Structure 1
């Protein structure tokens, strides 16, 4: 099949080869990216991509659904078992869509939502002013202190003032565990529903390396499937049974049409992988690697948001550490083969396209088989690349060491 693509569309084929080479020779440190399983890639490239399957198993709008129903039922059953949920929807096409379906399914336009401040780690879909959701719902903010501690007395004060219908926790860039019991207490006190967006840490929860909000009585959790879960790009909505029908109708026909059945097949494969004993070890090593990386950066003089990490995320304040805006640090690191992304720091005075930091994560490096010694080496390479940014010889040396490290731990691509 690859030979047919090469012959028919060499430009696309060459771009695919180039990306395969980039993923092999550069170190992926973006925490929202990972290398999926070969079995997942196989499922993605199947004839299920040819099939329209609007609706749900046993109640589709098209005929010929015998096998689509099989894979979707497997996917939802595996999701419920893995996360301990009463209901699961596996049709959301992305993280943004899965969160929107919860808002539309459980709330009314204009309702208040209490969510984490975006500069403190909240996500675009948690009410960024540039998102459509901010035009539909009324978002209010809470923050964390410098150590990553959330003052729940303050959160409750805000909640009593704005009377949210939904208390939302979860993040895109928050390196600490969340106190789900604390959020539940606040929500119960004002009669609000609870939702946790665990997209970044879904794999850690599945592998027993992070707390599960459902264990604390949360109504809904959402997670993407491609980050620490190592699945394809998609989203899960997991909820109490009483909200299942409302969420399903919000996904379809409310927000989406036909689901991507090849992706659902791949999600089912990834969920089966995540239920295996080996995945628990993998999740634990992600966390261990992140802590080693954070310690190595601190020892070399880097300033980290919250001073460390409890999960897979590390956020470096590059302005405070190296006198570099995040966008410049990201570019310099990419030139030596370290893929990161610029990131806002708490109460960042810079806009998101410039930012004062960069965000790092360990899922992809852990997938390659790297451990604590390699994370210490990565911390050293990171600091050298930025501290000696004007030294061509040192930067060339860093690039060579990154290539050598990647060659010792091939990516499964």
Structure 2
């Protein structure tokens, strides 16, 4: 009796694209830790040591990722990576809050730290997608995915501009042009997210995608040229060669993600529905951190993140109870949802309006229209006619003066001769 064909074990199946994406982002996170340690001042030894520990931990996971051969081992590695990335995200946000409070020196710009934390948040979304058996491309809707990367590319241009020597005017101008171009693409992308909400991709957005691809290709080539010039010592800057190559690889990854989305090799979630029409007004459009399970708190160096998170949870519960009590009171009072003001509030507003009207100054009434001047009679005698005309003008001027004084008196005597 012939044996039935052996079924391929699910434990041996692993998607190469998932593994490749995991390796790529582990490398990116490790290099982020290297940059943080390099840009921290020497006196911040504790922070530098912490950054070094993250660098070693990501290196260990990267080594394991090179040897993983089964689906179960891959899921185990992804789960451990998720825990480490959450800790690294908190570390980035803590450094950012220290910088904003003026407690961190060195070359770590606040936007640079925010940039690193945004990439860590994106990696966490990717890990959730990988653990669910999906491809690590298209973790957000297509407009949101493109917008995320466009902002990263714009940040890269700004960072390079700040780290070039002031004498490198041509390269600074090029980096500035890239930053300005991607800033414009970012604003256009935010418009498309609002325009396409609850709809489908339109041809004009396809053109926007092509513009983004062309700009990203030129940005990648600029990073590659800059990397070669740094290695050949042909440029004056404080840019590490690893950072230029890091930015080049991220641009390449964006172009790969874009190509896979356009060729339907990676599926993106649907565009977010219109929050007003669906009744979910508070639905976030670009809030990947809210789905990460990471407490978004201002964790300073002297405050434990767990304590702050507990306080926020307590305040959230109290706020929810207060909102429920307020809603119940409004329902018992039979106040319609359209009435944004209670009766007492309306009466109070009427009283305020009356007070304002009572304090308004009494402006004088509009002056009556002046009668049309009557031409003086001409008798034929030149001297007599001249005297008649002069008398008529004088009488008219005196009448105007008396009329204005009667409408708006001048008790302080402005304009009078002393």
Name the TM-score class by shorter chain.
under 0.3
Q: Which has the higher helix share?
A: 2
Q: Which has the higher strand share?
A: 1
TM-score (norm 2): 0.20
TM-score (norm 1): 0.21
**Per chain length, whose mean CA-contact separation is higher, i.e. which structure has more relative contact order (CA < 8 Å, sep 6+)?**
1
- Compare CA radii of gyration and give the structure with the larger one: 2
